Structure 1
Amino acid sequence: MKLVSWNVNGLRACVNKGFLDYFKTADADIFCIQETKLQEGQICLELGEEYEQFWNYAETKGYSGTAVFTRLKPLSVRYGLEEDREPEGRILTLEFEGFYLVNVYTPNARRDLSRLTYRLEWEDRFRSYLLRLDAVKPVIVCGDLNVAHQEIDLKNAKSNQGNSGFTNEEREKMTRLLESGFVDTFRHFYPDRTDAYSWWSLMPRVRERNIGWRIDYFLVSERLCPLLKDAQIDAHVMGSDHCPVVLLMDMPAEPQAPIST
């Protein structure tokens, strides 16, 4: 089974920059995106009849939003954490026979850290939600988690210490989540790999010089580790300030009929 996650930073713009070409080449069984930045009816995405599409739109126009395109028929779909809604469109949970898939766009603490308190509270709720799911069946989490966990996960760790996405508080929340029974799949395979990033500032020549951060992840319940085959970062793929991340697993992924509507 192949899963892909990509923060597209505006799907309409990304479609004009090659999104569909990559989508077809990737040939994923499940393809998750974050920061769609659109509302229902603002795009008609032709992905083929084998893909069912699920969207969670933010109430604010042009902001946030997540989507999942899947060949596998989910047993259920949930929008949000405590309630079956998410005003910022940040979470989609699909239940499959053998696992839950959680596609998430974690809130940014903002440059001035004005949203850090909210972010930390959100992290606690999100962790509790994942643990409730994990008590039922294994969980695969993917998306833009908006944190570089360790110094190895960004180019200039010292100069970014305390900045949004690399505060001690945000990093500690990630540590706590991993210690709760989840595995960072990329570090599972490549614990010491440096210069492996998934986001780059839009400032001139930053991406060309690979001055980046790894803030896009696939996390899995520990008991799924024997099924992991590889975790990849498609850093060569343009179209967004993020690049896609990929997870390969030794799980059945037979195409199934789309959900009837």
Structure 2
Amino acid sequence: MKLITWNMDSLNATLTSDSARAVLSREVLKTIIKQEPDVIAIQETKLPRTGPSKKHAELLEGFFPDYNYVWRISEEPARKSYAGTMFLYKNHLDPIVTYPKIDAPDTMDAEGRMITLEFDTFYVTQVYTPNSGSELVRLKERQIWDKKYAEYLASLDEKKPVLATGDFNVAHKEIDLANPNNNRRSAGFTDEEREGFTKLLNKGFTDTFRYVHGDVTGQYSWWNQRVKTSKVNNSGWRIDYWLVSDRVAEKVQKSDIIDSGIRQDHTPLLLEIELD
């Protein structure tokens, strides 16, 4: 099975805008399509309260004629056109779709951050983990989220193996970002967030990129688009992941970072796994 995840940073802009960034985003989308994945997970769709418009649906059909899709949007009392997730999956697949809530604090459960696909012998679930924010204003709530999310994944894992993906908004180890010493109290690299991710893995999950590639350095999934030279200088972070239940880790065939060219921000990740 081949699966791809990508924090797209606005489905609407990617599909409809003529900006230089949108053009680059569509090139990344074409790269994904060429891979012919069975499942595509997309984070940060930023769709309106009404979900995909008729125009969005037509464009999605043009890009993905052989796929069905499901989405989750940010709902009241959360901000409009904020966060949001989407799954696209080949139309011969017929998963059970759920939209989990994990009793998260603040408006996090209303921000459209999670979707789960249940297949006969495994789950595929995606997450757009809340960012702790400027000045770490949401760090306390983020710590609660991490605990609740880990409990949710563990509850799935009790039933059947789990493939969990998305933008986890944390660089787990020092080798997962270019400049660890300068970012000790930056959102995504605090001791609290890193510990939360460690506890998640300790519940029975494997970081597939590290499983396949070991302690390789200089491999990142995000470069700050506000810093023009971040990608040229490879001043990146690895904050996007494919995790799997420990008991199916040996079935992983590939876990790779897909080249997104000169486009900064997130890049897609590929997982290939042999499952029944």
1:149·1:171 contact (CA, 8 Å) conserved in 2? yes
Query: Is residue 159 of structure 2 the alignment partner of residue 143 of structure 1?
Result: no
Tell me how far 1:49 sits from its aligned partner: 4.0
Q: Give the match for residue 19 of structure 2.
A: none
Counterparts of 1:147 and 1:233 in 2: how far apart (Å)? 16
- In the alignment, is the contact (CA less than 8 A) between 2:73 and 2:81 conserved in 1? no
Q: Percent identity?
A: 41
1:21 matched to 2:26? The reply is no
Assess if the C-alpha contact under 8 Å between 2:102 and 2:149 holds in 1.
no
Which whole-Å CA distance do the structure 1 matches of 2:215 and 2:142 have between them? 28
Distance 1:223 1:103 in 2: 19
* Residue 79 (structure 1) aligned with residue 90 (structure 2): no
Q: Post-superposition shift, 1:198? A: 0.4
Distance in 1 between residues matched to 2:32 and 2:257, nearest whole Å:
15
Query: TM-score of the superposition, structure 2-length normalised?
Result: 0.86
Among 221, 227, 238, which residue is 1:198 paired with? Answer: 221
Q: Is 1:96 aligned to 2:119, yes or no?
A: yes
1:237 offset after TM fit, Å?
A: 4.2
Structure 1 letter corresponding to 2:4 = V
**Aligned amino acid, residue 89 of structure 2:** T
Structure 1 contact 197–235 (Cα < 8 Å) conserved: no
Q: Evaluate the alpha carbon distance shift between residue 74 and residue 124 of structure 1 in structure 2; reply closer, same or farther with a 3 A threshold.
A: farther
Instruction: Give 5+ residue unaligned stretches, structure 1.
Output: 253-261
Segments of structure 2 that go 5 or more residues without pairing to the other structure are 16-21
Which residue does the alignment assign to 1:30? 39
| Alpha-carbon distance in 2 for matches of 1:237, 1:220 | 27
- Aligned pairs for 1:17-166 (under 5 A) are 17=23, 18=26, 19-39=28-48, 40-42=51-53, 43-44=56-57, 45-46=60-61, 47-59=63-75, 60-71=79-90, 73-82=93-102, 86-166=109-189
Which piece of structure 1 moves more, 135-144 or 235-244?
235-244
Residue number in structure 2 paired with 1:2: 2
Alpha-carbon RMSD: 1.7
Task: Give secondary structure in 2 for the equivalent of 1:112.
Answer: helix
Q: CA deviation at 1:50?
A: 2.6
Q: Which is bigger in relative contact order (C-alpha 8 A, separation at least 6)?
A: 1
Does the aligned pair in 1 maintain the 2:7–2:166 contact within 8 Å? yes
How many residues were matched structurally?
A: 251
In terms of fraction of residues, the more helix-rich structure is 2
TM-score by length of 1: 0.91
Using the TM superposition, give the Cα deviation of residue 222 of structure 1 relative to its aligned residue in structure 2, in angstroms: 0.4
For residues 150 and 134 of structure 2, the distance between their equivalents in structure 1, rounded to whole angstroms, comes to 24
**How far 1:52 sits from its partner (Å)?**
1.2
